[in-house]
Structure 1
Amino acid sequence: MKQRRSSGLEVVQWKPPRVGFSKLNIDAAVLGPMGCRLGVIIRDHNGSMERAGVQQTRERWEAGIAEAKAMEFGLRTAVQMGLANIIVESDCMVLVSMLKSKSLPLNYLGNVGRSVLSLVSCFNAVEFSFVKRDGNRAAHCLAHLLPLTYSTRMWVGMVPDIVSDVVLTDCYLVTNNE
């Protein structure tokens, strides 16, 4: 869903998936010597929280690889949940384009991309979609969540307080712009 700011700039906000689909938003934070953090959030067509997760790793991947790892983490989570139809949104246009075209380079990013595409067979339908950062704020907040702990944290039906405001705002904006 798009709105215009008074300055004329386009504002992009999170949009729920159509009925019968869940939406997986992913993002990654590259933290230099501290490694990378992967954030995922899965919501239904009403915007209701299904699952959210954060994975902190000591790996020092470049941004594109970290985004692909976040997508792999999110799709594995969706498989564990038994979801059948999913829309995967990322603010990494290069990754989304690569996966949609199935044109994978012969490097580590391509290997992670192949792993992501192998998970597609676990679903009835998967769609990859690019979204600007404003439409991916919840996953972005999860990827930047503190404290720093080298672990995987999951929330079912809820998110940490710092992210709940973003999720509520997304739902409010969707409801009031329909």
Structure 2
Amino acid sequence: MGCGLGLVVRDNSGRVERVGVQQVRDRWCPDIAEAKAAEFGLRTALQMGLDNVVLESDSSTLITMLKSKSIPANYLGRVGFEILEIAKSFTCIRFSFVRRDGNCVAHGMAHLMPLDYSTRFWVGAIPERIVPLVETDVALLT
């Protein structure tokens, strides 16, 4: 079946600027999928030319690992190492844990259908089925 990696880019006031999904054939455990989504998000931020970034994830395992820079000798550690290498490209980066209900848009994007094993972005527009999730996230931000 595969795995979806969702991302949302917000400006400093919380307004959604871009959403994206990368759908892959690989099947990972939730922590690996979250790490791969974080890597996807940081690579996207880098391509956008952003320099002040907050990476949010609902994986406390991932955020704890990134904050402590304590990288395990396993596949999660390999992805974590890559995330930390990309993070060096930003002027300022912060890693932040958010509960799942505060991560609705990225989670919704990760499960976006149709599944077509590609990378897609929406800039200035959001897929219709994601709009209610943006409204839920905004309510949690205020």
CA distance in 1, matches of 2:55, 2:42: 8
Aligned residues: 142
More helix by share: 2
- Structure 1 vs Structure 2 CA RMSD: 1.3
Task: Write out aligned runs for 1:92-171 (5 A).
Answer: 92-171=59-138
Give SS of 1:122's match: coil
CA distance in 1, matches of 2:139, 2:36: 30
Which of 70, 81, 90 pairs up with 2:57?
90
Structure 1 length normalisation: TM-score? 0.76
Contact 2:8 2:19 in 1 (8 A): yes
Determine which structure has greater relative contact order: mean sequence separation of CA pairs < 8 Å that are 6+ residues apart, divided by chain length.
2
Asked if residue 44 in structure 1 is aligned to residue 11 in structure 2, the reply is yes
CA distance in 2, matches of 1:170, 1:64: 22
Q: Which amino acid aligns with 1:39?
A: G
Contact 2:102 2:140 in 1 (8 A): no
Give SS of 1:82's match: coil
CA distance in 1, matches of 2:13, 2:68: 30
Measured at CA, do residues 173 and 134 of structure 1 come closer, stay the same or move farther in structure 2, by a change above 3 Å?
Answer: closer
Structure 2 length normalisation: TM-score? 0.94
> CA deviation digits over 1:115-150, x for unaligned, max 9?
000011111111001111111111111111111111
CA distance in 2, matches of 1:63, 1:172: 26
Runs of 4+ deviating beyond 2 Å: 168-174
CA distance in 2, matches of 1:150, 1:68: 18
> CA deviation digits over 1:4-45, x for unaligned, max 9?
xxxxxxxxxxxxxxxxxxxxxxxxxxxxxx111100001012
Residue equivalent to 1:74: 41
> CA deviation digits over 1:27-68, x for unaligned, max 9?
xxxxxxx11110000101222222111011001222111110
Quick one: percent identity of the two aligned structures? 57
CA distance in 1, matches of 2:140, 2:74: 41
Which deviates further from its counterpart, 64-73 or 40-49? 40-49
